[in-house]
Structure 1
Amino acid sequence: TSAPRRSTSGTATPRPGCPRTSAPASWTAAPAAGRPYAYLEGPAGSVLQDTLSLTNPGTRPLTVRLDGRGAPVSFAARTVTVPARTRADVPFAVTVPADAPPGEHRGTVRATAAGRDVRVDLRLRVSGPRLAALTVEDVHVDTATGTLRYTLVNRGTTVLAPRLAVRAEGVLGTVLDRPGRPLPLTLRPGQRTTRTEAWPDPPSLDSVTVRLTATAEGAAPATARAEAAFTSGPAVAGAAGPLLAAAAGGVHAARRRARSRTQRATAGAHT
């Protein structure tokens, strides 16, 4: 960014009857060219530039401090001294984060001088396609406590508010069924988070398949699963483990045979 530019054109004049010593309180800060707010548009990762006009209608120099809020703003100078009856045009730049999602974003450029603040609205539009994509990964079941651990990953370009549904099938049927519910978090593009899900009353003796389904607005449902064998203790594990494994294998084999029969029947119906 270049250095501040000073100009006497377009300078405001003190109102008649106002004491000359009160002039610093009437200084102004606004986007250049008389715009009501600063508007910038560009893709993620770009650097966008604009200009802030500082006007000092008073009879003494005015020192103004500048900073940005809600957006990564950099100035040609953080502190600018504006001579009396002069306007200084201060270039500034906004660096759009590489992971910024497309859409509208807000920020503020703040100017501070003579004991008061002036805030200029900054509106940033990040261009690019909007893609909502969510995955659930690394599902693990702690059989000692029944705790489920999993990782959610935002693989799109929009901020997501995920929901989670949990279902577990044992040898004899469903042992856990929690419908989808909102999670107390939001995920920025590229962000991942590892969370746990309590299962206070897991089975004492069962072979289960746990399925976690994560959803978010605009994103396709994402499902991941984990297998786990629950036993009530080492002694039971040693005695019942083979029986449990055999029973689970029988159930899974029966399910495969049922699917195979269904597929053959469907194929026959189309011939």
Structure 2
Amino acid sequence: MRTAARTGLVAAATALLGAVAAAPSDARTPVSWTAAPAAGRPYAYLEGPAGSVLQDTLSLTNPGARPLTVRLSGQGAPVSFAARTVTVPARTRADVPFAVTVTADTPPGEHRGAVRASADGREVRVDLRLRVSGPRLAALTVEGVHVDTETGALRYTLVNRGTTVLVPHLAVRAEGVLGTVLDRPGRALPLTLRPGQRATRTEAWPDPPALDSVTVRLTATAEGAAPATARAEASFASGPALAGAAGLLLLAAGGGGYALRRYARPRTQRAPAGVRT
């Protein structure tokens, strides 16, 4: 009995090993599809001036035993494909052309993006490196300065008139009749300006003068750009300040009249004796 059982176990094990050996290679070793730049490059590299359309090719390889449907998209760059969805036959490589549109306002220099391919619940990201040629010019202006005399808020517009991305800094100074009433050194603003972009902002002035005529100067700077200055005139005259000023004027006028009367009375009293007045 034991010999028969042992013989049966050996036969079953042998049959199992034979079945594993006879199984198709796809069952033993899973294979995955790939996406990569054509010609085996580690990443896609494109170079050209702003306003151009640059082309390259993406290779999709399907080593499996059935067709593969791949969905394509771009990230961080305006990428377009001849078809967003591509079906790659079994054990086949498909070369898919794509194009990157370099917009006219793209600054010169290095830019990054990606081409993404997804299929069967898996996504492959192919790095895209773009070099935009052309002269690099940093130019910044500050325009449309306006002072709100009710709140003291300063409204202005920054404009990037160059070909590079700018991180602007702003300094504010205001001079009144009796001297400086506001002095803020330059500090970085929480914004980035692309070429041709403009941004309208408001600068708070919590304690503007109650009664004064001021000249406000805004100076904008950015790395590589010449300082840009703009100014605005404003007159502050709040109700309490005007009332106080009027009171002082009345007081001054009243005091002058009293002094005049005092000065006139002694002259009358010093008239010579015998002279009737």
Please tell me the TM-score bracket, short chain as reference: 0.7 to 0.9
Q: Secondary structure at the match of 2:223?
A: coil
Cα 1:73/1:92, change in 2 over 3 Å: same
Q: Does residue 58 of structure 1 match 2:64? A: yes
Q: Does residue 68 of structure 1 match 2:74? A: yes
Cα 1:155/1:87, change in 2 over 3 Å: same
Letter aligned with residue 227 of structure 2: P
CA–CA separation in structure 1 for the residues paired with 2:51 and 2:128: 18
Q: Does residue 123 of structure 1 match 2:126? A: no
Deviations 1:98-142 (CA, angstroms, capped at 9, x unpaired): 111111000110111122111100000111111100000000111
Q: Does residue 138 of structure 1 match 2:144? A: yes
TM-score, normalization by structure 2: 0.77
Matching residue of 1:82: 88
CA–CA separation in structure 2 for the residues paired with 1:35 and 1:107: 16
Letter aligned with residue 80 of structure 2: S
Q: 2:102 aligns with which of 96, 101, 106?
A: 96
Q: Does residue 109 of structure 1 match 2:150? A: no
Cα 1:165/1:18, change in 2 over 3 Å: farther
Matching residue of 2:168: 162
Q: Secondary structure at the match of 1:236?
A: helix
Q: Does residue 191 of structure 1 match 2:197? A: yes
Q: Does residue 20 of structure 1 match 2:26? A: yes
Provide the aligned C-alpha RMSD in A: 2.1
Cα 1:22/1:189, change in 2 over 3 Å: farther
Deviations 1:3-26 (CA, angstroms, capped at 9, x unpaired): xxxxxxxxxxxxxx9842588751
Matching residue of 1:8: none
Number of residue pairs aligned between Structure 1 and Structure 2: 225
Q: 1:215 aligns with which of 217, 221, 226?
A: 221
Q: Secondary structure at the match of 2:51?
A: coil
Q: Does residue 45 of structure 1 match 2:59? A: no
Deviations 1:131-168 (CA, angstroms, capped at 9, x unpaired): 10000000011111111111000000111000000000
CA–CA separation in structure 2 for the residues paired with 1:78 and 1:25: 24
Aligned structure 1 segments of 4 or more residues deviating by more than 4 angstroms: 21-25
Q: Rg larger in 1 or in 2?
A: 2
Percent identity over the alignment? 88
Identify the structure with the greater helix proportion.
2
Q: Secondary structure at the match of 2:103?
A: coil
Q: Is the 8 A contact 2:210 2:241 kept in 1?
A: no
Q: Secondary structure at the match of 1:230?
A: strand
TM-score, normalization by structure 1: 0.79
Question: Which runs of 5 or more residues in structure 2 are unaligned?
Answer: 1-22, 250-277
Task: State the shift of 1:57 in Å.
Answer: 1.1
CA–CA separation in structure 2 for the residues paired with 1:178 and 1:43: 40
Deviations 1:5-50 (CA, angstroms, capped at 9, x unpaired): xxxxxxxxxxxx9842588751111000110000000111100000
Q: Secondary structure at the match of 1:228?
A: strand
CA–CA separation in structure 1 for the residues paired with 2:143 and 2:29: 63
Cα 1:200/1:20, change in 2 over 3 Å: same
Matching residue of 1:228: 234
Q: Is the 8 A contact 1:161 1:187 kept in 2?
A: yes
Task: State the shift of 1:234 in Å.
Answer: 8.5
CA–CA separation in structure 2 for the residues paired with 1:63 and 1:158: 40
Q: Secondary structure at the match of 2:208?
A: coil
Cα 1:18/1:46, change in 2 over 3 Å: farther
Question: Which runs of 5 or more residues in structure 1 are unaligned?
Answer: 1-16, 244-271
